[in-house]
Structure 1
Amino acid sequence: MVWNAPGPAGPAPVPSGWRLGAVLWLLGMPGGVAVVWALLPPLRAHAELLPLPWWALALLSGAQTAVLLALCVAVGTVLAPRVGLGAPAVSAWLCGAPVGPAVRRLWGPGVAGGIAGAAWLWALSWVAPAALRPTDPAAAMPLAVKLLYGGITEELLMRWGVMSLLLWLGWRVAQRGRGRPGTGLVAVAVVLSALLFALGHLPAAQAIAGVLTAPVVAFVLVGNTAFGLVAGALYARHGLEAAILAHLLAHLLSHALL
Structure 2
Amino acid sequence: MSTYPITPSVGGPHLKPAVLLGIAGVLATLALMPYLLALLPAQFAALHWPLPAITLAQAGATGVLCWLLGWAGLRLGAPYGLDAPWLRAWVSRRPLDPARRSRWGLAAVLGVLAALLVIGLSLLGPQPAHSETTIAAWRGALALLYGGVVEEVLCRLFPIAALVWLLARCNRRVARPWMFVTAIVLAALLFGVGHLSAAQAAGMLGTPLLVARIVLLNAMVGLVSGGLFWKYGLEHAMLAHFCADVVLHVALPLTGA
Alignment equivalent of 1:69, drawn from 44, 59, 66: 66
Alignment equivalent of 1:238, drawn from 221, 224, 232: 232
TM-score (norm 2): 0.81
Secondary structure, counterpart of 1:14 in structure 2: coil
* Unaligned 5+ runs, structure 1: 1-5
Q: In the alignment, is residue 253 of structure 1 matched against residue 247 of structure 2?
A: yes
* Residues 124-163 of structure 1 mapped to structure 2, 5 A cutoff: 124-127=121-124, 129-131=127-129, 133-138=131-136, 142-145=140-143, 147-163=144-160
Distance 1:114 1:132, change over 3 A: farther
Contact 2:31/2:142 (<8 A) preserved: yes
- Deviation of 1:123 (Å): 1.2
Secondary structure, counterpart of 1:209 in structure 2: coil
- Deviation of 1:24 (Å): 2.3
Whole-Å Cα distance in 2 between the matches of residues 191 and 41 of structure 1? 31
Whole-Å Cα distance in 2 between the matches of residues 68 and 76 of structure 1? 12
Contact 1:86/1:240 (<8 A) preserved: yes
Contact 2:184/2:227 (<8 A) preserved: yes
Q: In the alignment, is residue 176 of structure 1 matched against residue 176 of structure 2?
A: no
Secondary structure, counterpart of 2:186 in structure 1: helix
Alignment equivalent of 1:221, drawn from 192, 212, 215: 215
Contact 2:18/2:66 (<8 A) preserved: no
Q: In the alignment, is residue 90 of structure 1 matched against residue 99 of structure 2?
A: no
Distance 1:124 1:34, change over 3 A: farther
Identity %: 35
Whole-Å Cα distance in 1 between the matches of residues 216 and 43 of structure 2? 33
For residues 20-44 of structure 1, the C-alpha deviation after alignment (integer angstroms, 9 at most, x for no partner) is: 2112222333221122344457888
Distance 1:100 1:167, change over 3 A: closer
Whole-Å Cα distance in 2 between the matches of residues 41 and 252 of structure 1? 18
- Deviation of 1:228 (Å): 1.1
- Deviation of 1:67 (Å): 2.6
C-alpha root-mean-square deviation of aligned residues, in Å? 3.3
Contact 1:89/1:103 (<8 A) preserved: no
TM-score (norm 1): 0.81
Whole-Å Cα distance in 2 between the matches of residues 29 and 102 of structure 1? 32
Contact 1:89/1:102 (<8 A) preserved: no
* Unaligned 5+ runs, structure 2: none
Distance 1:137 1:96, change over 3 A: closer
For residues 186-229 of structure 1, the C-alpha deviation after alignment (integer angstroms, 9 at most, x for no partner) is: 11111111111111010011011165422320111110112211
Whole-Å Cα distance in 1 between the matches of residues 146 and 189 of structure 2? 19
Q: In the alignment, is residue 24 of structure 1 matched against residue 21 of structure 2?
A: yes
1:27 partner letter: A
- Deviation of 1:69 (Å): 1.6
- Deviation of 1:106 (Å): 2.8
